[in-house]
Amino acid sequence: MKNRPSINDVARRAKVSITTVSRVINNILTVSTRNRARVEEAIAYYKYRPNISAQRLARGSNNSIGLVMPSYPGIFHSFYAVELIRGVGHACEVLHMDLVFHITNGFNPINTSNVGGVVFADVIENRKQVEGALASGTPCVVINHKIDDMDVGYIAVDNTLGGRIAADYLVSLGHRKVATVTGNLTTQAGAQRLKGFEELLEEKGVPLPKEYVYQGDYSRRCARVAAEQFFKLPNPPTAIFAASDEMALEIIAVALEKGLKVPEDVSVIGFDDNPACLFGPVALTTIKQPLFQMAENAVKYLHTVIAGNGTAKKKTILSPELVVRESCSSPKK
């Protein structure tokens, strides 16, 4: 058959009603042995796979969304995590859906039987969990991670572009000694922000020596270590790009502790647009990524799929934006 076999095809071959086929699929015991055998033979003949979403909807268990978030230290103090939770929660409230929150280490199993769809907040060492959810027929969408080798929708930020924007802004101010504290390079976001940053500097002919690149993990702790190392260099950088606002704020704190002025002695740019950026000693220039919008759109997409109004995999890339404040200026002559 060219088209995917339907429940009507199964019913027609088995010479029973659609209701009877549905009862067999859902293992309802009121079907006679003779009719059950006919239906099972027809299912095997067509290699029919029932629409899991439709089954769940019929059982009234589709009104829940699962949010799966990779575990990391300080998750509930993270602007990134809180903003995603806020976006998913707001969309669930508006659409009258329930939210099931699951923090994963990448190995613990995920029960998808009690939710209508799953939002995966990034894919970090938990690829098998995504594959398992897809295999169960559960509608899924991944946020903050562009994924092309699995049949799953995604809503992500163009992190490569974000890194390029940061580098381009610093270079446009006249900086030639530009350093960076990366995010965790096992994450797509961390790797791509560094890639875009390096690409732009190379295009502009600005060198990036290895001592100007510190591999971080988005935490304040690593940012402090990186800043200490940068400021001890014989030829310290005049500008630093941090792959998260949390790290950028810590770099500013270290600079001020050492008697440096921001941005006069060192310019600092972050990534996220955390509201905390406005209330430090220096308002932080940053790259804004639409975290709330990503999370909200993910739930709206799943709601549409669960309701049977859409099956196309959503593949969306959102653009980050430069937010100019007070922490960057031209270098001293």
Write out pLDDT tens, residues 149-197.
888 999 999 999 999 999 999 999 999 999 999 999 988 999 999 999 9
What pLDDT, on a 0 to 100 scale, did the predictor assign at position 8? 85
- CA-to-CA distance for 46 and 54, rounded, in angstroms? 19
Is residue 51 predicted with pLDDT exceeding 50?
A: yes
Q: 102: which residues sit within 8 A by CB, 6+ positions away?
A: 66, 67, 68, 69, 110
Using the Cα atoms of residue 67, residue 250, residue 281 and residue 164 in order, give the sign of their dihedral: negative
Give residue 125's pLDDT band: very low, low, confident or very high (50, 70, 90): confident
Show the tokens assigned to 234: 């014989």
Ordered domains of the chain (ranges, CATH): 7-50 (1.10.260.40), 64-157+291-318 (3.40.50.2300), 159-289 (3.40.50.2300)
**Average pLDDT of the segment spanning 286-305:** 94
**Angle (nearest 5°) at CA 323 between 319 and 324:** 145
pLDDT at 1 over 50: no
Does residue 4 have a pLDDT over 80?
Answer: no
Mean pLDDT of 64-85: 84
Distance (Å, rounded) from C-alpha 113 to C-alpha 235? Answer: 58
Both structure tokens of 197: 């940053």
Poorest-confidence range of 50-54, 145-149, 259-263, 266-270?
50-54
- Return the top range by mean pLDDT from 88-102, 115-129, 232-246, 295-309: 232-246
Q: Place 260 in a pLDDT band, splitting at 50, 70 and 90.
A: very high
Question: 3-state DSSP call for residue 144?
Answer: coil
pLDDT of residue 53 exceeding 70: no
**Tokens describing residue 198:** 């390096």
pLDDT of residue 108: 73
| Residue 148 pLDDT > 90 | no
Q: Is 254 helix (H, G, I), strand (E, B) or coil?
A: helix
pLDDT digits (tens, 9 = 90+) for 217-259: 998 999 999 999 999 999 999 999 999 999 999 999 999 999 9
Distance CA 166, CA 105 (A): 31
Strand ranges in 188-245 using DSSP code E only, listed in sequence order: 213-214, 239-242
> Average pLDDT in the 129-145 region?
88
Locus of tokens 């995010």? 183
Residue whose entry in the numeric block shows the structure tokens 């994450």: 187
pLDDT for the residue 55: 56
How much is the pTM? 0.78
- What's the CA gap between 116 and 111, in Å, rounded? 11
